[in-house]
């Protein structure tokens, strides 16, 4: 029996790469994104069901799940990938922009998972696309770090609740990713972000697939793994984090400057 996957933020980046990979593996796909035109093009290319939706509209999420079940008869995999990041100091953004990050990155995945749990069968799985910023506070990304930490800790705790229905949950935590998500506001990406190796969207999609196919719950996959270990070390040993920060920022600044030069941007 063909399994059905619902992917949010599916019109580009990690979401699109995940959709392509799951299509190759024989999944039926329900794809969600705000941009209807782009989403419809992707869905047509992949033979998928397109559902234009802004996940920040929490009240619409139960209907989103119902539409998937109505069309496919089941929902076996939920990939909470949609995200938003207003970069730079929180003081340069409006209260509405800060709240949007919490709603899209934290509240929406929780609410969508809750709705999906009512229709998912035992053996189903939820995968959240988190961030290494959720494991270690990132200067210049305070609210984003908080939103990703929130979804990470929620997943670790929610695993027990979901296990009552035989549903697994996992979180994939990428560091910097070579995608439009970074390039959209490259000038305001913190140098610390570029201190770690960049992953491709395809590598992130492979990590999502590993999480889907694993038996562990809760499960976490960090990308790159070495950066995940460094983030954990920095979290449990703040003095070491403060000691390493100047060198990491210096390295990241060089990488950022070169990337901006290649993109034809001024620093």
At 121, phi and psi to the nearest 5?
Answer: -90, 160
| pLDDT for position 245 | 80
**Three-state DSSP class for residue 61:** helix
Q: Residue 230 corresponds to which tokens in the numbers above? A: 């460094």
Domains and CATH numbers, the chain: 4-182+197-236 (3.40.50.720)
| pLDDT for position 52 | 97
> Radius of gyration over alpha carbons of the chain, in Å?
18
| Ramachandran assignment for 74, one of left (phi > 0), alpha (psi -120 to 50 degrees), beta (any other) | beta
Strand partners, 50: 31
With pLDDT > 90 as the criterion, what percentage of the chain qualifies? 71
| pLDDT for position 267 | 53
Catalytic annotation present for 27: no
| pLDDT for position 243 | 79
Instruction: Point out the residues of the chain with pLDDT beneath 50.
Output: none
Q: Which of 72, 144, 154, 194 is flagged as catalytic?
A: 144
């Amino acid at each position: 029996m063909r399994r059905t996957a619902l992917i949010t933020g599916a019109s580009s980046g990690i979401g699109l790469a995940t959709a392509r990979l799951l299509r190759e593996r024989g999944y039926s796909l329900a794809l969600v994104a705000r941009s209807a035109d782009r989403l419809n093009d992707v869905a047509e290319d992949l033979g998928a069901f397109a559902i234009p939706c802004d996940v920040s509209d929490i009240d619409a999420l139960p209907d989103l799940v119902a539409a998937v079940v109505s069309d496919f008869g089941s929902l076996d995999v939920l990939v909470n990938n949609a995200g938003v990041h207003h970069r730079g100091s929180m003081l340069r953004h409006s209260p509405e922009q800060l709240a949007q990050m919490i709603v899209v990155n934290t509240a929406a995945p929780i609410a969508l998972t809750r709705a999906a749990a009512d229709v998912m069968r035992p053996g189903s799985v939820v995968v959240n696309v988190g961030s290494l910023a959720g494991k270690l506070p990132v200067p210049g990304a305070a609210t984003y770090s908080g939103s990703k930490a929130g979804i990470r800790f929620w997943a670790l705790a929610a695993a027990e609740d979901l296990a009552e229905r035989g549903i697994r949950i996992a979180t994939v935590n990428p560091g910097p990713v070579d995608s439009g998500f970074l390039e959209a506001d490259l000038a305001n990406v913190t140098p610390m972000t570029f201190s770690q190796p960049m992953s491709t969207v395809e590598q992130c999609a492979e990590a999502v697939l590993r999480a889907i196919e694993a038996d562990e719950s809760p499960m976490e996959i960090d990308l790159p793994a070495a950066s995940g270990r460094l983030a954990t070390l920095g979290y449990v040993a703040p003095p070491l984090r403060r000691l390493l920060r100047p060198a990491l920022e210096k390295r990241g600044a060089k990488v950022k400057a070169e990337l901006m030069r290649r993109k034809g941007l001024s620093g």
